[in-house]
Chains A and B, each alone.
Chain A
Amino acid sequence: MTDTMNSLNFLPPDPILERRAEIQRLSAQSLRRRQSFSRGFEFAMALALTIALIPLVSILYSLVSKGWRYLSWPFITVSRPRATRVLSSIGGIWNAVIGTIVIVGLAAIVAIPVGITIAVYLSESNGRVANALRAAVEIMTGMPSILLGVFGRRNNRHENEPSVLGYCRLLRAFDFDRAGYCEILRACTARCAPDAARGGSGTRCAFLESDAWHHFARRTTGHHHGDFVVVGPGDG
C-alpha cells in the first residue's frame, strides 16, 4: 500500500484536479466575503429597525414622564378651565374630548359611505370621468391639510357677520372629511377584491346591472370589509 502511494507521488500532477482545487479555494474565499457582506447587510437592516423604534419609545417616554402626574379623573371630566395659574388646577379637557368625538364622528358619517361608494365606482369604471376623478383623488391624497384649512377659513372669513355655516364643528368636520375621502378612496380602490373573487369566471361584473351590483357589493365589500375601516389621522 505504501509502495503504491509512493509510486503515485511520482506521477505528474493532474491539471484538472489542480484547477478544481484552485476553483474551490477561490470560491471559498468569495463565499466568506459574500457571507460577511450579507451579515453586515442584515445588521444594517436590524439597525434601521432599531432606529425606527427609538423615536416611538422616546415619544412615549417623554409623554408619560411629563404628563402622567397631571392625569386624573377630574382632568378628563371637568370642562371649564379655572382662572388660576397653577398648572395642576387648570381645569379639564372634557370640552376638547367632546369636540374631538363630534368632529371625528361627523367626518366619519359623511366620509365613510361617500368614500366607499366612490371607491366602488372608481374600481369598476374605466371611463374618462372615472380616470379624471382617479387622478384628482391621487393628487388630493397628497394635499396638505393646511390647504383644506385655508379653504374652510376662506369660506368663513366674515366671522362677525351672520353666516350660513359659521365657523362651527360641522364646517371643520366637512373640511376634515375631504382629507378623509381621499384616504378612504385610496385604501378601498387599492384593495378591492380581485376579479376572481367576484365570480369565479374571472370576468368583471357589469357594474350598473342590479344583480351584478348586489353580487359586487357582497363579494367585494365582504372580501375586504376590514380594509374599509380607515381611521382618519389625528391631525395636529
Chain B
Amino acid sequence: MALVFGAILLLFVWSVLSSAWPVIKQYNYHLLTSSVFSVGNGPYGALTLILDTLITTAIALVFAVPIGIGTALAILYVIPERMRTIVSSTVELLAAVPSVVYGLWGVVVFNGFFKNIFHQTVGFSIFLAGLVLAIMILPTMVAISRDVLAVVPRDLLEGAYSLGATRSKALTRVIVPTARVGIFGAIALAAGRALGETIAVAMVIGFNTYLPHSLFSSGATLASMIAVKFGEATTQDLSALAALALMLMIITAAVNAGARLLTRKAGAR
C-alpha cells in the first residue's frame, strides 16, 4: 500500500510536469523573468505572481508567528488552567472555518476597514491578502506551538524559577529555546499553507498581474491565478497554469526542505 501511495505521488508530479512542459520548452527562463502573464495564448511570465506569493506569505508570517507563539504561551502559562481547554478549542475552531469564509469575511469586514483607515479607493490589496492569510495560518501556529511547548519538561521551568528568573525570562530563555525545533516546524507548515492558499487570496488580492509598486496595490498569487483562470483557459493556457502549479510545488517543497534543514540543525545544537 505504501508503494501504491508512492506511485500516486510520482504520477502526480509527472502529471503536472508533463502538462507544463510545452510552455516551459517555449518560454524557457523568460517564464521566471518576465512579469507579463496574459491568459489567451500568452505571453506567460510569472515574476509578478512569484513575488506576490512570497510577499503575501511574508506578511502573513510577520503577523502570525509572534501572535501565534504569544497565544500558545498565554494558553499554557498565563490563563487559569480551567479556561485552557475552552480557549485553545476556540482558537482551533478558526482552523475549521473554510477558506472561502475567510475570503468572504475579508471582503465584507477588512475591505471596508481598510478603505476607511488608509483611504484607499479600493481596499483589495497584497497587504489585505497577507492579513487574511495571517488569520488563516494562526490556528496552525497556535496548535502546533502549544503542543510542542506543552511537552517541555516542567522541571526546566521550575529550575529557572529557583534560580531567580521571572516568568518572562523563564519562558523566553528556557521554554521557547527548548521547543524551537517544533516551533520551526509550525512556521514551516504555516508557510506552506500561506503559499498555497487560493480562494481567500483570490477574493481579496484584487487580481492584477502587473508588478506591485506598494503593499497596498492589488496583485495576484500563483495559486489565485490558477484558480481564477482555469475555467476560461485554452490548451496552451492550461499548460502555462500547470507551469505555475509546478513553480508553486517547487517553492513549497523548498520551504519544507529548508524548514527540515533548520529543524535538523536546531535539533543537533
Inter-chain contacts of A118 with B (CB < 8 A)? 1-2, 5
Q: Are B198 and A42 in contact (CB under 8 A)?
A: no
Interface residues on A, range: 35 or more
Instruction: From B96, B104, B168, B260, give the contact of A38 (CB < 8 A).
Output: B168
Taken residue by residue from 114 to 155, chain B's Cβ proximity to chain A (1 for < 8 Å, 0 otherwise) reads as 000000000000000000000100100010000000000000
Q: Is the interface of A mostly helix, strand, loop or mixed?
A: helix
Taken residue by residue from 39 to 61, chain A's Cβ proximity to chain B (1 for < 8 Å, 0 otherwise) reads as 01110111111011101101100
Known: A144-B223, A150-B242. A236 touches B168 (CB 8 A): no
Inter-chain contacts of B257 with A (CB < 8 A)? 139
Q: Are B66 and A48 in contact (CB under 8 A)?
A: yes
Instruction: From B68, B74, B169, B260, give the contact of A46 (CB < 8 A).
Output: B74
Which of B21-29, B38-46, B87-95, B207-215 is the contact stretch?
Answer: B87-95
Q: Is the interface of B mostly helix, strand, loop or mixed?
A: helix
Q: Which of A34, A45, A141 has the largest count of B CB atoms less than 10 A from its CB?
A: A45
Inter-chain contacts of A133 with B (CB < 8 A)? 2, 5-6
Query: From A154, which residue of chain B is reached at the shortest CB distance?
Result: B19
Q: Which of A49, A121, A132, A155 has the largest count of B CB atoms less than 10 A from its CB?
A: A49
Task: Give the number of residues in B that approach A within 8 Å (Cβ atoms).
Answer: 77
Whole-angstrom CA separation of A41 from B176 in the bound complex: 14
Inter-chain contacts of A8 with B (CB < 8 A)? none
Between A and B, how many residue pairs show CB distances below 8 Å? 192
Nearest-neighbour CB distance to chain A for B188, whole angstroms, equals 7
Q: Are B171 and A41 in contact (CB under 8 A)?
A: yes
Whole-angstrom CA separation of A172 from B215 in the bound complex: 36
Nearest-neighbour CB distance to chain B for A51, whole angstroms, equals 5
Whole-angstrom CA separation of A49 from B71 in the bound complex: 4
Query: From B171, which residue of chain A is reached at the shortest CB distance?
Result: A41
The 15 sampled A-B contact pairs (Cβ below 8 Å) are A38-B168, A42-B78, A53-B91, A55-B94, A56-B97, A58-B105, A59-B97, A62-B109, A129-B6, A136-B9, A139-B252, A144-B192, A150-B16, A154-B242, A236-B198
Across the A-B interface, the 10 shortest Cβ-Cβ residue pairs: A144-B196, A48-B70, A142-B192, A236-B100, A236-B99, A41-B168, A234-B98, A38-B166, A45-B74, A236-B199
Residues of A within 8 A of B (CB): 34-35, 37-38, 40-42, 44-49, 51-53, 55-56, 58-59, 62-63, 66, 114, 117-118, 121-122, 129-130, 132-133, 136, 138-151, 153-155, 157, 178, 181, 231, 233-236
